[in-house]
Structure 1
Amino acid sequence: MSPIEKQLIQLSAEVPSELGGQRLDQVAAQVFPDYSRSRLSSWIKDGRLTVDGAVLRPRDIVHGGSRLSLEAEQEAQGEWLAQDIELNIVYEDEHILVLDKPAGLVVHPAAGHQDGTLLNALLHHVPELVNVPRAGIVHRLDKDTTGLMVVAKTLIAQTRLVEQLQARSVSRIYEAIVIGVITAGGTIDAPIGRHGTQRQKMAVTEGGKPAVSHYRVLERFRSHTHTRVKLETGRTHQIRVHMAHVGYPLVGDPVYAGRFRIPPAASQTLVQELKSFPRQALHARFLELDHPATGQRMKWESPLPDDFVWLLTLLRQDRDAFVG
């Protein structure tokens, strides 16, 4: 693969009089809104963003009429390996890419998963993503969760998508099969943080970050429920933790589900499927957002994966066999 050219960024702007008297990092964030505060701060410290040709500190005060000049190279973000891994891309243009993630694909390299991840696949498909933080990944799905994800292909798209996620204007709707019969939908507003003793787990905890999930019933079975969950926030394992917290853990969840719930006198086929379902039954079904370049509202839908559909079929057969 040929070396990737670094993206050269050259911008200049005059400080409006109404912003005079504020810190340089605060002014820069308003004058150059396409870049995050932390990135601008880093460029100021590196002398890439100057005021009337002078290098200042992020906290230094600037005056109206001063000239801000930015000359920076967007550096490669990591020593990651590009790998030819098949991607199911449902939409792509020069700014964003939307894909349908399969079960078993880790999103980002980490301890135990240095390669073979979605990030490695993205770098092969779009080599320029080496210049974008986390190769444009702005939100994640757990390894065994399937469904829709958006990836930013440019630094500006990344900044704007992160802003939308923080403003909660990105709509992410999931479908799940949970253990237990839910009588009605509801909202779970419960903070999530690291588990006190099991550091690989998340938990509802008083000192956690705010987390809000809205759920509703799609279909009830004898001992399970097909639900739709809309995220307001995007905490790690949020749906899995929240649904377990209210007593309806996801089928197949190896971390949060606890014991199996088998309908009485269920068929051997259903019993076996519930016991051996290979992952948490969770699918990112709908994704809706404002396009970072055009502002147009866009929406995508992903069909339920085969294992999810098969389990629903068996649960319906079981319920229908005992009706009346």
Structure 2
Amino acid sequence: MNFEIVYDDDDILVVNKGHGLLVVPDRYDKDLPNLKDLLTEIYGRIFVVHRLDYGTSGIMVFAKNERSHRSLSIQFERSEVDKRYYAICKGVFPADLTCMLPISKVNYHGRYKINFKSGRKALTSFSVLDRFSDKTLIDVVPLTGRSHQIRVHLKALGYPLYYDFLYNEKREDKRLTLQAYYLRFRHPVKSTTMEFQSDISEFLREILKIS
């Protein structure tokens, strides 16, 4: 299975999703494997709180009941959840910076773009972890929650994800060099701080070895 159960109690489920797995059923092909259905087979009814792209790996939280779903959804809507990503971009990223460029959807194919007229506010913090000859490992903190936010901001800055079939070179491999490695939120029932972190994925490690 392309996922790992990290934490499980009566109210929430925390999962480490692998690269190349849908979170919810595909609109056009319902038979494609997706994390929600896989978890439902094991746990019964599961509520999706947030999503990761098919090609992105990382830590996710799911709710097991309506009360928990409502509480967690509010935390995400109010930007009270701390999310951090590893990203490998193409090129040598120059310096730590914060990107403030508004984003809007281009068309029904799922692409987004920078749009100063009607785009929604989007804010992303980038910190360089390691530089290589043709790529950079970056720590990313999305301070807003727009679709494709990290991918679009990196593209706009001139340093798209090293693997990104939409915003970089087209390729058969739909995995992205993006991993949601850290998640912190308030437990929806106990109100305690829940904090989860994963090591850099094997896929990202392999990409960093490519010269």
**What secondary structure sits across from 1:88 in the alignment?**
strand
Identify the residue that residue 88 of structure 1 maps to in structure 2: 4
- Match for residue 106 of structure 1 among 6, 15, 22: 22
Bigger proportion of residues as helix:
1
**What secondary structure sits across from 2:166 in the alignment?**
coil
Give the structure-1-normalised TM-score: 0.61
Q: Aligned ranges for residues 39-78 of structure 1 at < 5 Å?
A: none
Are 1:200 and 2:117 an aligned pair? Answer: no
Are 1:122 and 2:43 an aligned pair? Answer: no
Q: Deviations over 1:184-227 (max 9, x none)?
A: 111111222111x5742111113122221111000011121100
Does the 8 A contact of 1:100 with 1:148 survive in 2?
A: yes
Bigger proportion of residues as strand:
2
- The number of residue pairs the alignment matches comes to 209
- Counterpart CA distance in 1 for 2:121 and 2:63 is 25
Q: State the AA in 2 paired with 1:114.
A: K
Distance 1:199 1:208, change over 3 A: farther
Q: State the AA in 1 paired with 2:205.
A: V
**What secondary structure sits across from 1:226 in the alignment?**
strand
Identify the residue that residue 71 of structure 2 maps to in structure 1: 160
How far apart are residue 310 of structure 1 and its match?
1.7
Instruction: Calculate percent identity across the aligned residue pairs.
Output: 33
Give the structure-2-normalised TM-score: 0.92
Does the 8 A contact of 2:83 with 2:182 survive in 1?
A: yes
Are 1:311 and 2:193 an aligned pair? Answer: no
Q: Aligned ranges for residues 143-222 of structure 1 at < 5 Å?
A: 143-195=54-106, 199-206=109-116, 207-222=118-133
Does the 8 A contact of 1:86 with 1:121 survive in 2?
A: no
How far apart are residue 278 of structure 1 and its match?
5.5
Q: State the AA in 2 paired with 1:301.
A: Q
Q: Deviations over 1:52-73 (max 9, x none)?
A: xxxxxxxxxxxxxxxxxxxxxx
- Counterpart CA distance in 1 for 2:142 and 2:192 is 21
Identify the residue that residue 17 of structure 1 maps to in structure 2: none
Identify the residue that residue 155 of structure 2 maps to in structure 1: 244
Identify the residue that residue 228 of structure 1 maps to in structure 2: 139
Distance 1:98 1:182, change over 3 A: same
How far apart are residue 279 of structure 1 and its match?
2.1
Does the 8 A contact of 1:87 with 1:121 survive in 2?
A: no
Single out whichever of 110-119 and 235-244 deviates more from structure 2: 110-119
Does the 8 A contact of 1:286 with 1:299 survive in 2?
A: yes
How far apart are residue 258 of structure 1 and its match?
4.1
- Counterpart CA distance in 1 for 2:207 and 2:78 is 36
Distance 1:198 1:119, change over 3 A: closer
Structure 1 runs of 4+ aligned residues shifted over 3 Å read 275-278
Q: State the AA in 1 paired with 2:6.
A: V
Does the 8 A contact of 1:290 with 1:297 survive in 2?
A: yes
Identify the residue that residue 294 of structure 1 maps to in structure 2: 190
Does the 8 A contact of 2:20 with 2:174 survive in 1?
A: no
- Counterpart CA distance in 2 for 1:228 and 1:186 is 11
Q: State the AA in 1 paired with 2:102.
A: P
Gaps of 5+ in 1: 1-84, 130-134, 260-274, 316-324
Larger Rg belongs to: 1
Over aligned residue pairs, what C-alpha RMSD do you find? Answer: 1.9
- Counterpart CA distance in 1 for 2:119 and 2:188 is 30
Gaps of 5+ in 2: none
- Counterpart CA distance in 1 for 2:2 and 2:83 is 24
How far apart are residue 313 of structure 1 and its match?
3.1
- Counterpart CA distance in 1 for 2:64 and 2:174 is 32
Does the 8 A contact of 1:251 with 1:277 survive in 2?
A: no
